[in-house]
Amino acid sequence: MCDYKKNEFGQQSAYAEADIIMVDGSWYVKWMSQELVNATKEYRQKLEALNAGIDRRALSKEARAALKGKRKALETNYVAQLESREEYRLKPHGLPDADGYQRFTYPKPGYMAFDPATGERVPPSKLPKLPSSVSIPIDVGVSTENSTGEQPPAALKWWQKFPHATPLHQRWYGMRSMVESFNKVLKGARYENLGDPGKRSGRGFAFQYLVSTLMAVSANIRKIAKFFEKDAKRQFGGPLPRTRRRKTATGTALERREASPPPDPPQ
């Protein structure tokens, strides 16, 4: 799961042999209208323009309510556009095979088709007959990103399992913060410091794998111990007193005693 920069929304790639395009990380048939293709990009631009130069503290109650209403109207229209996209989206099935091919099924016929070049309506009789499914290689597609450097395959770079900004995507996207939070813990200089190559200076993949695993185990143990400590504070209102280990023959704990200093060495 990932998010994109504001200039990365819209059509990101295309697979001409299958008559499909990649929009906001998902594959769609290419006959989707440009309004839906650029829905996220235009929504963010309109929202940014609406909020530009506005100081909410200086607004009256009526002005804040009007601003909130305009934002809600933009959001409602955007959600409706995302729902309309579903008629054009290809659905993934299973997992990629050993060669990196992922199977997708085409949407059912009946959607409103538009010519990608002219934007005019295309009658169903003029649409090519598509198969029920297509296997898409992971390195397919030509990126539409303006960059002169070497780029990874477009499908590999942009594709994600759930349609961007949908409720399903948002539920899974929340888990990403948990992963990034744990990565921050691992790379922190106070404990494991995985981000410092000097802490794992051994050579070879096996050494790096073993050290990284031990660092992850160490961080997990520390987080578990921290959980029990916080749980004890919630239940008992403070840290638990440490029980003395030594007991009498009947099982009664001996009272605490201050540690006595060691005796002087013999003269």
- Band of residue 112 on the pLDDT scale cut at 50, 70, 90: very high
82: Cβ–Cβ under 8 A, 6 or more apart, which residues?
A: 39, 163, 165, 166
Residue at 179 is within a domain? no
Higher pLDDT, 252 or 171: 171
pLDDT at position 239 is: 56
Do 133 and 52 sit in the same domain of this protein?
yes
> Residue 97's pLDDT band (boundaries 50, 70, 90)?
confident
> Of 140, 164, 168, which is closest to residue 24 (Cα–Cα)?
164
**Chain segment 149-164, per-residue pLDDT in tens:** 556 677 778 888 889 9
Residue 143 has pLDDT above 60, yes or no: no
More confident residue, 143 or 113: 113
Question: Crossing angle of helices 61-85/39-51, nearest 10°?
Answer: 170
Q: Are residues 41 and 120 in the same domain?
A: yes
Structure tokens belonging to residue 218: 């160490």
Number of domains in the chain: 2
Most confident by average pLDDT, 144-148, 203-207, 236-240: 203-207
User: Do residues 121 and 198 share a domain?
Assistant: no
Residues 75 and 203 in one domain: no
Domain that holds residue 116: 11-143+151-160
Residue 95 vs residues 100, 102, 170: alpha-carbon distances, Å? 9, 6, 21
33-66 pLDDT tens trace: 999 999 999 999 999 999 888 887 888 889 889 9
State how far Cα 134 lies from the chain centre: 26
Average pLDDT over residues 219-224: 91
1 within a domain of the structure (yes/no): no
Whether 205 and 156 map to the same domain: the answer is no
pTM above 0.85, yes or no: no
Q: Is residue 166 part of a domain?
A: no
- Decide if 163 contacts 25 (C-beta within 8 A): yes
Q: Identify whether the C-beta of residue 38 lies closer than 8 Å to the C-beta of residue 24.
A: no
Is residue 195 over pLDDT 90? no
Note whether residue 200 is domain-resident. Answer: yes
